[in-house]
Amino acid sequence: MTKYTEEHEWLEIDDENVVTVGITQHAAEQLGDVVFVELPDAPKTVSKDDEVVVIESVKAASDILAPLDGEIIEVNDAIVDDPSKVNDDPEGEAWFFKMQIEDASALDEYMDDAAYKKFIA
Amino acid sequence: MTERTADKYADWQSHDCGCGMPHGPDGGHAPGCDGAAPEAGEARTEEGLLKTPLHALHEELGGKMVEFAGYSMPVQYPMGVLKEHLHTREKAGLFDVSHMGQVLLVPRKAAAAEKLETLVPQDIIGLKEGRQRYALFTNDAGGLEDDLMVANKGDHLFLVVNAARKAPDIARLRAGLEPDVVVKHVTTRALLALQGPKAEAVLSALAPEVAEMRFMDVRDVVVDGVELWVSRSGYTGEDGYEISVPADAAEDFARKLLAHDDVAPIGLGARDSLRLEAGLCLYGHDIDETTTPVEAALSWAIQKVRRADGARAGGFPGAGRIHAELAESASRVRVGLTPEGRAPMREGVALFAAEDGAEPVGVITSGGFGPSVGGPVAMGYVPAALTAPGTVLYGELRGRRLPVAVAKLPFVAANFKR
């Protein structure tokens, strides 16, 4: 089940507590054309709310915060090479990073699909 | 040189029928006046922002409206900033620049050009009828109060000034020129810009004579009974036109242009990236009250006749400092800057001469991603000794010093019809 943060990130957890993180379609539309993405070097241990990614659109620079405590184990270099993928497929191909977390219940605080839709409405 | 005699308008008075022109004692309309009544008040959004005559069209076209200089303006349309930028360079873009100030200078007891030369370091007397020139309002310290366009329309001058500087500019003109010259703020006309390699084909389909115009020519043309004040100029580095059109005819005219397959509406976002790639200054960012023309690398805009050894040397605010800097160069100079990585360096980024330099030597005043360049581009001020293209400086970005090279302006070659 996909979860959403108020920072407009989507989080998808698998059976081994690996969470894939990206930004939502709504966020990508608000940002406008993305022209630069800077990802951390994996592996990297992070705490919730650490600034881990810099994303710049034609308009402005934004930070993406780590949504959870854990270790970033993989980053998506394809969006560094071609930042426009973030606009083309933000909730699919253009994921940002994967992080290993201890406890899946850490996602409980975040919104589900229905709650996020309401949040951005 | 064109004679602009004072006698013709000696008895004319400022007379606000809404046309923006003084009227004769017999009640006759001035040239360019259709006698239209002024609109009742200024149209505003619920938030209190001023609307241009194209406001409804912007909303219909899906424009994302933002505040700019007190106006509600489209920053982008559904196409998005990147594609709008590229579309303008490839085909033609239509911009609403109605927020800019349109001002007429009409001679009464003195020639408008002579009087205007007391406020700007440009050669206005030598500006031929039907031609336009880039000009600068300077202050006593040699700083820039605004940049503007001045056109010689024969019996008057037509000025276009920046939106955010309208009030101080008009006050400056009234204080400096009246009562010898009538200063009329034109508030009943919209201003559109049609920019890009297809602009000539698009506009000349409606007004064939615009094809004969060269860069910086001005001319009045009539399309479907509507008088347009056209200049072949713009703010993108591309060929194109700026077109003053009566407010009540503006939407119809914009729709005629947009009906062409090659024309897309373009917002302020792409206007900014286009002018940045073209190396053009944005007032309040790259130039302001504290920067002089020589520091701003705008010496080219000061004609020989107004320089220290010219026939009409000086006579404008700040002439002492500007003449000294023209002779000896300024201590800091505006340059192009190309960040070597992919990260854009924006306004306010501090520049260092060395990676471990203690004190910044300069600052970026405009910067972002250049869609046609395909990478980040910027402009900023650096010490005169560090202006050679290729000089590597370091911009501080998120706590790190990243290399950025001094580059020649413009980043994209100008595409004017000279």
Same-domain check for residues B264 and B180 = yes
Q: How far apart are CA B305 and CA B310, in angstroms?
A: 4
pLDDT at A59: 82
Which of B298, B328, B358 delimits the end of a domain?
A: B328
pLDDT at B23: 52
What domains sit in chain A, N to C, each tagged with a CATH number?
A: 2-103 (2.40.50.100)
Best CA proximity match to B296, nearest among B285, B307, B308, B305 = B285
| CATH code, B373 | 2.40.30.110
Across the range B159-176, mean pLDDT stands at 97
Same-domain check for residues B126 and B183 = yes
Mean pLDDT computed over every residue of chain A: 95
Residues of B in contact with A35 (CB under 8 A): 82, 344, 369
Same-domain check for residues B174 and B60 = yes
pLDDT at B42: 78
Categorize the per-residue pLDDT at B7 as very low, low, confident or very high, splitting at 50, 70 and 90. very low
Same-domain check for residues B319 and B346 = no
CB contact at 8 A, B160 and B143: no
Residues of B in contact with A30 (CB under 8 A): none
Helix (H, G, I), strand (E, B) or coil at A33: coil
Tell me: the pLDDT tens digits for A51-93?
999 999 988 889 999 999 999 999 999 999 999 999 999 999 9
Which residues have CB under 8 Å from A119's CB, separation 6+?
A: A4, A6, A111
Q: Can you tell me the ipTM of this complex?
A: 0.85
Best CA proximity match to A95, nearest among A85, A105, A82, A109 = A85
The total domain count for chain B is: 2
Same-domain check for residues B316 and B365 = no
Categorize the per-residue pLDDT at B316 as very low, low, confident or very high, splitting at 50, 70 and 90. very high
Cβ atoms < 10 Å from Cβ of A25:
16
Helix (H, G, I), strand (E, B) or coil at B247: helix
Same-domain check for residues B228 and B112 = yes
Answer yes or no: do B80 and A33 touch at CB < 8 A. Answer: yes
State the smallest CA–CA distance between residue A5 and chain B in angstroms. Answer: 24
Same-domain check for residues B280 and B359 = no
Q: Does the pLDDT value for residue B16 go beyond 80?
A: no
Q: Does the pLDDT value for residue B25 go beyond 50?
A: no
Q: Does the pLDDT value for residue A48 go beyond 60?
A: yes
Residues of B in contact with A36 (CB under 8 A): 342-344, 369, 376
| CATH code, B49 | 3.30.1360.120
Categorize the per-residue pLDDT at B5 as very low, low, confident or very high, splitting at 50, 70 and 90. very low
Cβ atoms < 10 Å from Cβ of B141:
13
Place of tokens 């900033």: B81
Q: Does the pLDDT value for residue B201 go beyond 50?
A: yes
Answer yes or no: do B82 and A58 touch at CB < 8 A. Answer: yes
Which of B328, B347, B371 delimits the end of a domain?
A: B328
Total residue count of chain A as it appears in this document = 121
Same-domain check for residues B285 and B379 = no
Same-domain check for residues B360 and B402 = yes
Interface A-B, measured as beta-carbon pairs within 8 A, has a size of 37
Residues of B in contact with A38 (CB under 8 A): 343
Same-domain check for residues B287 and B336 = no
Q: How far apart are CA B257 and CA B13, in angstroms?
A: 37
Q: How far apart are CA B76 and CA B190, in angstroms?
A: 19
CB contact at 8 A, B226 and B245: yes
Answer yes or no: do A32 and B371 touch at CB < 8 A. Answer: no
State the smallest CA–CA distance between residue B263 and chain A in angstroms. Answer: 21
Categorize the per-residue pLDDT at A1 as very low, low, confident or very high, splitting at 50, 70 and 90. confident
Residues of B in contact with A87 (CB under 8 A): 80
Range of the domain at B368: 331-418
CB of B372 within 8 Å of any CB in chain A?
no
Residues of A in contact with B371 (CB under 8 A): 58
Same-domain check for residues B238 and B135 = yes
Categorize the per-residue pLDDT at B8 as very low, low, confident or very high, splitting at 50, 70 and 90. very low
Measure CB to CB from residue A58 to each of B343, B368, B398 and give the nearest one.
Answer: B368
Nearest residue on chain B to A58, alpha-carbon basis: B369
Tell me: the pLDDT tens digits for B95-128?
999 999 999 999 999 899 999 999 999 999 999 9
Same-domain check for residues B318 and B358 = no
Which of B292, B313, B328 delimits the end of a domain?
A: B328
CB of B269 within 8 Å of any CB in chain A?
yes
